[in-house]
Amino acid sequence: MPSSRKSVSLGAERAKRGNAGKASEDESLAPGFPAIRMRRNRRAGWSRRLVAENILTCEDLIWPIFVIDGENKRTSVESMPGVERMSVDLAVVAAKEAVELNIPAIAVFPYTDPALRDESGSEAFNPENLVCQAVRAIKAEVPDLGIICDVALDPYTSHGHDGLLSGDTIDNDRTLESLVRQSLVQVEAGADILAPSDMMDGRVGAIRTALESAGHKDAQIMSYAAKYASAFYGPFRDATGSAGALKGDKRTYQMNPANSDEALREVEMDIAEGADMIMVKPGLPYLDIIARVKTTFGIPTFAYQVSGEYAMLMAAAGNGWLDGEKVMLESLIAFKRAGADGILTYFAPRVARRLGEGR
């Protein structure tokens, strides 16, 4: 007997016994089909919206932007269709657009002139570097927009690593001093959230201590607590100019993609050291990590839909293999379903316009 007919027969038998007044253990069970039809709630658009378990809003979005030197200047990132590097004046225009679209925050990343890169990443400590210029200019025009600054040395080092090298080894403890200097420069420029992405041990605690000592007690830290050594970062490194500079790989400090329990240890340590919120990176390949972190700690949890994820969807849509608008929204609601409180995504302005139009 087919399983669907069997369930109908069992339901009818329960009803028959009930009518006869015969109590049984089966009668406590909820009836199945046809009393329950799951499609009833899916029948109309208004009903689907009414019973939706998760919803994506503009307030869930963080827009990553890339800044370059110059004025009224834009350059395309070839591996990220639709994404451009912008001079500081145009970054201000983008920030105003974010406010108009109800996007609560932007994340600022620099394209550093190779001539300014050195072994120690000293441009990271320059109060006049591109990031600091952009932060000051944006805050002057749109002070209520949140600004997130990346804390790591890779946009500034000649070797492309997030930390300082001692021979061929990343020197964790010496790097902490540099990250503290970079953090103070950024927060003094007006950054609201510092986002350490370097994955050095102890960096959250070192930055938090320095912020407190310097009187920046309200500065927030969004730690890249679970950042994996992923192949999905390639286009981002093109955008910041670090792809050609990178010598070797980052597996000695970024996490092994095979590990999940380790991510919980990383998050627990960063919370204890003073992180206000945490991030999982990349996004879609690590939805299980997002879910575990949110369930375990209940701390504000963010996901980064990284450059490779964006490029992959854009390439498929550009070739007509996928419906670009639909997969864009579907990919973002997946983060909400997994438990993310917000998403860094290059789709942010496009999604916000779509949401503003009521989809």
pLDDT of residue 27: 53
Query: What one-letter code names the amino acid at 197?
Result: S
Full pLDDT tens readout for the chain, 359 residues:
334 334 444 444 444 444 544 444 555 566 799 999 999 999 999 999 999 999 999 999 999 999 999 999 999 999 999 999 999 999 999 999 999 999 999 999 999 999 999 999 999 999 999 999 999 999 999 999 999 999 999 999 999 999 999 999 999 999 999 999 999 999 999 999 999 999 999 999 999 999 999 999 999 999 999 999 999 999 998 899 877 788 889 999 999 999 999 999 999 999 999 999 999 999 999 999 999 999 999 999 999 999 999 999 999 999 999 999 999 999 999 999 999 999 999 999 999 999 987 55
Cα–Cα nearest to 240, from 131, 99, 359: 131
Helix H or strand E segment including 62: strand 61-68
The encoded tokens of residue 134 equal 């952009």
pLDDT of residue 313: 97
Whether the CA torsion 268, 273, 278, 279 is positive or negative: it is: negative
CA distances from 17 to 4, 21, 168, 208 (A): 20, 6, 77, 67
CB burial of residue 311 (10 Å; 0-12, 13-18, 19+): buried
Q: Is 195 in a helix, a strand, or coil? A: strand
- Cβ neighbours, 10 Å, residue 299: 18
Task: Give the CATH fold of the 58-356 domain.
Answer: TIM Barrel (3.20.20)
Whether the CA torsion 259, 168, 130, 135 is positive or negative: it is: positive
Known catalytic residues are 227, 281
Domain segments of the chain as ranges: 3-50, 58-356
CB 204 within 8 A of CB 274: yes
> CA neighbours within 13 Å on the CB side: how many for 169?
5
Strands 84-87 and 74-76: antiparallel
> CA neighbours within 13 Å on the CB side: how many for 257?
12
Cα–Cα nearest to 161, from 115, 106, 121, 188: 121
Report the distance separating Cα 336 and Cα 302, nearest Å: 10
Report the distance separating Cα 157 and Cα 152, nearest Å: 10
DSSP 330-347: HHHHHHHHHT-SEEEETT
CA distances from 126 to 116, 129, 163, 178 (A): 11, 5, 17, 12
CB 60 within 8 A of CB 105: no
Q: Which residues of 238-256 are buried (b: 16+ CB within 10 A; e: fewer)?
A: bbbbbeebeeeebeebbbe
